[in-house]
Amino acid sequence: MPEYEFILTFNLPDAQSNPEDYLESLATVGCDDALIGIGKRGKIALDFIRESSSAQEAVDSAIAQVVLAIPHAVFLNLSPDFISLTEVGQDLRRF
């Protein structure tokens, strides 16, 4: 199965949140294939290397896991642009 590397960036539910508070929750839901950037309060970035049958499936599953671990997180960015932002927006409505 191919691997896809991509970065997801989110605003945390509370701008004053310490991103470090979410590390255990992210690992528990399956984001253990990501390096997690916690350098800025109120934001979190996850650099994934995820095996999947498609880029769309890899990104969808990662977003679903982040939202499960951090309810009310707001998606900001996906890079590189494996799938269009329109597709990401449509996917976010499912979560």
Q: What does pLDDT average to over the chain?
A: 87
Percentage of the chain beyond pLDDT 70 is 84
3 state SS of 59: helix
Coarse DSSP helix, strand, coil percentages of the chain, rounded to the nearest 5 percent: 35, 30, 35
pLDDT of residue 93: 60
Residue with tokens 């449509």: 90
Distance separating alpha carbons of residues 21 and 23, to the nearest angstrom: 6
Q: What is the pLDDT of residues 57-95, one digit of tens each?
A: 999 999 999 999 999 999 999 998 665 555 555 555 655
Distance separating alpha carbons of residues 10 and 8, to the nearest angstrom: 7
Each domain of the chain, given as residue ranges in start order, spans: 3-82
CATH of 3-82, one of 3.90.1170.50, 3.30.930.10, 3.40.50.300, 3.30.70.3400: 3.30.70.3400
Global pTM?
0.81
Task: Compute the residue count for the chain.
Answer: 95
